[in-house]
Chain A
Amino acid sequence: MAMCAEPMIEVRELTKSFGAVDAVAGVSFRVHRGEIVGFLGPNGAGKTTTMRILAGVFPPSSGSVRIAGRDPLREPLECRRAVGYFPEYAPFYPELRVAAYLHFVARLKRIPRARRAGAVAEVLAVCGLESVANRRVGTLSKGYRQRVGLAQALCGNPPILILDEPTIGLDPGQVVEIRDLVRRMRGDRTVFFSSHILSEVATVCERVIVIARGRLVGEGTPGELSARLGRRRRVVIRVDGPPDDVAAALAAIPGVLRVERRDGGLALDAAEREDVTRAAGAAMQQRGWSILELREEPIDLEEIFLRLVSDGGAAS
């Protein structure tokens, strides 16, 4: 990532209000050519609104946006041409066949007739859709429909891709597939994609922008952000024993920061470097209490954001 590279997406003091509600309140950031940047935030943080503005769905209430150096207010169609957009939940026309749909997209993207068939064939191949090209989109599995959504974004070879939660609602296998596809789509493109799953962003992106409640709260490499948040892990345990004693025993384990009771079990927050899971198991066994359940659970991202926000974050 060269910082001197030209910014493909540039947002300054972006604000979007709907009535009295500020969906986005003064967000500024840049995404450079060839970068792959994650856009992280809890639900309702303003991610989708920001991405819709970048994709040209509606203009901001105030602030400025530059897409590949152009102003979408002055040159809306040129800006839209530079962007491939994947909306949340990958909307589709159930009755259209995959290839016919992509031809429709190619026409709307004003790809000249002579190059249209080639462009459609290319995205079909890249997204692994050749075998279902003649199926109706509505009859495809969720994973395939997601690929159709990515294919329409990729169609016309736009230099910028904006992907809103491309892996939401998919099973783990499909998530990996889509993630690989996003990586393959990258090439020399600029990719800006949103997620509410920290680990996902960490595996795909070089840089992460975090927003919450419409404001920028953090920015940096996934490593930097995790360090700032403090690395933690959470263990959930359900034990057949006297609840108070169990809680006390767990709290005594080195590295455990917090013990919390919840629906019949206990949740431990601990520093990531400690192997609390093993220690908790051993401690219970030692006292002769049978373990009914013991598992690690990813820390709720909502909490991380709240912590970032309450810490003051990078927001001014």
Chain B
Amino acid sequence: MTVLAIARKELALYFGSFLFYALATVFLLLAGYFFYTNLGFFVLMGGMSLPRGLWQYQLLDVQRLLLVLTPLFTMRLFAEERKLGTLELLWTYPVRDAEIILGKFLACLAVVTVMVGATVVYPVMVAAFYPVAAGPLLAGYVGLWLLVAAFIACGLFLSALTDSQLVAGAATYGLLLFFWVITWNEAAVNEVTLHLLVPFSLFDRFYPFALGAIDTRDVTYLVLFTVAFLTFTFFALDSRRWRGLR
């Protein structure tokens, strides 16, 4: 119940802030533009299958868009409360740290889900003119949702480390980009190392979802990634025992 109370407050702050509407506008305009160009490409080049010809491109574009936008949602979660001093107050209420973390995580996830959910109008529009198989598309959205959860957990952790939203946001970009490019430069590392790195690339994990396949290994990885960063967040908050409040 206190998780919900925290989440409710976060939602009130998101929906009461200009930032949310600005980010949602940017997201929907760009997602719409991508859809327009991807659809044009699909129609002109005559793709045979929607999952590979259209949804794959669209989902990968949205994924990149979320990489840019999600840290802007997460950076304030703890950094702002630290700056305001309200985090100290939360710690004096009969609420566990885990509940605070979960409440904030769920609120942010809900906000981004609503935003991404709006893009469902594209397949609905396509369905009016062309048969759309729901399965592969659903797999893509499940993947996108798990990926967003991982992004948010990562951003939440970095936000818990600092009282500067800017530092939290920048660090989140750094870490997420690292998890993106981790497998890019095969020449830089030997094959054994690359083999070890591959499983850790968030984006390679998302690719199968974009093609319409749900692999339990990918699901497990993304869920573990999220749980790991939520746990790190717990330890970041717990560091006040020896670090004090600043």
What residues of chain A have their CB less than 8 Å away from a CB belonging to chain B?
A: 18-19, 23, 49, 52, 55-59, 77-78, 80-81, 83, 85, 87, 89, 91-96, 100, 104-105, 107-110, 152
Contact = CB atoms under 8 A, between A and B. Distances in A.
Contact of B8 (A78, A89, A104): A104
B17 interface: yes
Contact of A83 (B13, B92, B241): B92
Contact of B93 (A59, A87, A92, A109): A109
A91 B81 CA distance: 9
A85 B92 contact: yes
Most chain A CB inside 10 Å of its own CB: which residue of B88, B89, B92: B92
A18 B243 contact: yes
Contacts of B89: 85, 87, 91, 152
25 contacts: A18-B243, A52-B88, A55-B91, A56-B91, A56-B92, A58-B91, A58-B240, A58-B241, A59-B241, A77-B95, A77-B96, A80-B93, A81-B94, A85-B92, A91-B84, A91-B89, A95-B13, A95-B16, A96-B9, A96-B12, A104-B5, A108-B90, A108-B95, A109-B93, A109-B94
B46 interface: no
B5 A107 contact: yes
A87 B240 CA distance: 16
Interface of B: 1-2, 4-6, 8-9, 12-13, 16-17, 84-86, 88-96, 240-245
Contacts of B95: 77, 108
A179 B244 CA distance: 29
B85 A89 contact: yes
B86 A91 contact: yes
Given A18-B243, A107-B1, A108-B5, A93 B92 contact: no
Contact of B88 (A57, A59, A81, A83): A57
Given A57-B245, A91-B84, 6 more contacts: A58-B240, A58-B244, A87-B89, A93-B9, A100-B12, A104-B9
4 closest Cβ pairs, A-B complex: A91-B85, A107-B5, A77-B94, A85-B92
Contacts of A78: 94
Given A52-B88, A87-B89, A91-B88, A108 B6 contact: yes
